[in-house]
């Protein structure tokens, strides 16, 4: 690890609180976008976004993850930081005021910096600190936890996906160390559906426990992902059963945070699975 001259920040209190229970924390997805793959356009109106956040919290969401730019792997249209902020400004503060920790799902350091100043507690970077050169610095300056997701520009069916994920995380952790982000503020996300074939996404879920060697919490977001439709042909909104199956297995393999569009059903599934395991 490379030393930094910045004083080491204190561990952020939000992660220990979220990870203290035996059942994984549940992160509810709130897309204020017109073009996300599953729910694009449903919550772009601020009043509908706020109502959805309230509903997810009532259903048991421990975190609300707000994203204002679609990051779906195929066909997403990039937008400027200013357009992303225009979508977030009417919503973020209102959602923060509801009391649940809020994560900002953005790959732009300027957007993440604004959101953290506005009350978001967690940065969620789908490029694992490796795409925007200012991201690690912003996260370190705010002392915020960061979700480091594995990603690739394109899928390569010839690679060993677990080796690729591990090498990616090693690079991300080096960038984090250089910036002064303590490992205790880092969550790893294998990036189900991002830069992977459907089979590689399933391999990442099946071999998730290999990532425990990093000694860091793991987040899994398999909700409504394309690999489910390759097993049982279906549209995104018809993949609840597959999403729950993937998330229960992910929890069994070590995931400590589950990111989902369907909060109530996921909370129920995780709690029932844990109750059964407790009696085993």
Q: Distance between CA atoms of 65 and 29, rounded to whole angstroms?
A: 5
Catalytic residue among 87, 108, 152, 259: 259
Sheet-wide strand order for 257-260 = 186-189, 146-149, 122-125, 102-105, 63-67, 25-31, 257-260, 219-220
Half-sphere exposure of 220 (CA within 13 A, CB side): 28
225 is known as an active-site residue: yes
Beta strands in the chain (DSSP E): 25-31, 63-67, 102-105, 122-125, 146-149, 186-189, 219-220, 257-260
Structure tokens at 34: 């017109």
Q: What SS3 class is residue 34?
A: coil
108 an active-site residue?
A: no
Residues 6 or more apart from 170 whose CB is under 8 A from it? none
- How far out from the chain centre does Cα 16 lie? 17
Residues 6+ apart with CB under 8 A from 138: 109, 112, 113, 116, 123
List the catalytic residue out of 87, 108, 224, 225: 225
Q: Catalytic residues, which ones? A: 225, 259
């Amino acid at each position: 690890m490379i030393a930094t001259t910045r004083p080491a920040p204190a561990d952020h209190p939000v992660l220990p609180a979220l990870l203290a229970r035996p059942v994984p924390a549940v992160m509810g997805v709130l897309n204020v976008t017109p073009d996300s793959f599953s729910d694009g356009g449903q919550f772009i109106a601020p009043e509908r976004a706020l109502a959805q956040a309230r509903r997810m919290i009532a259903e048991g969401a421990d975190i609300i993850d707000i994203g204002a730019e679609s990051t779906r792997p195929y066909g997403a249209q990039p937008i400027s930081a200013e357009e992303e902020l225009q979508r977030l400004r009417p919503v973020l503060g209102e959602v923060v005021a509801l009391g649940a920790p809020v994560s900002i799902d953005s790959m732009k350091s300027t957007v993440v910096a604004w959101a953290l100043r506005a009350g978001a507690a967690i940065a969620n970077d789908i490029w694992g600190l490796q795409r925007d050169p200012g991201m690690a610095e912003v996260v370190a300056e705010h002392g915020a936890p960061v979700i480091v997701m594995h990603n690739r520009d394109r899928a390569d069916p010839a690679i060993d996906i677990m080796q690729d994920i591990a090498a990616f995380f090693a690079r991300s952790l080096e960038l984090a160390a250089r910036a002064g982000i303590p490992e205790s503020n880092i969550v790893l996300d294998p990036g189900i559906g991002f830069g992977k074939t459907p089979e590689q996404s399933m391999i990442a879920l099946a071999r998730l426990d290999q990532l425990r060697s990093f000694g860091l919490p793991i987040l899994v977001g398999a909700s409504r992902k394309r690999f489910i439709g390759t097993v049982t042909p279906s549209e995104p909104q018809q993949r609840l059963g597959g999403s729950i199956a993937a998330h229960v297995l992910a929890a069994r393999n070590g995931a400590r945070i589950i990111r989902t569009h369907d909060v109530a059903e996921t909370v129920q599934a995780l709690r029932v699975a844990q109750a059964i395991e407790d009696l085993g």
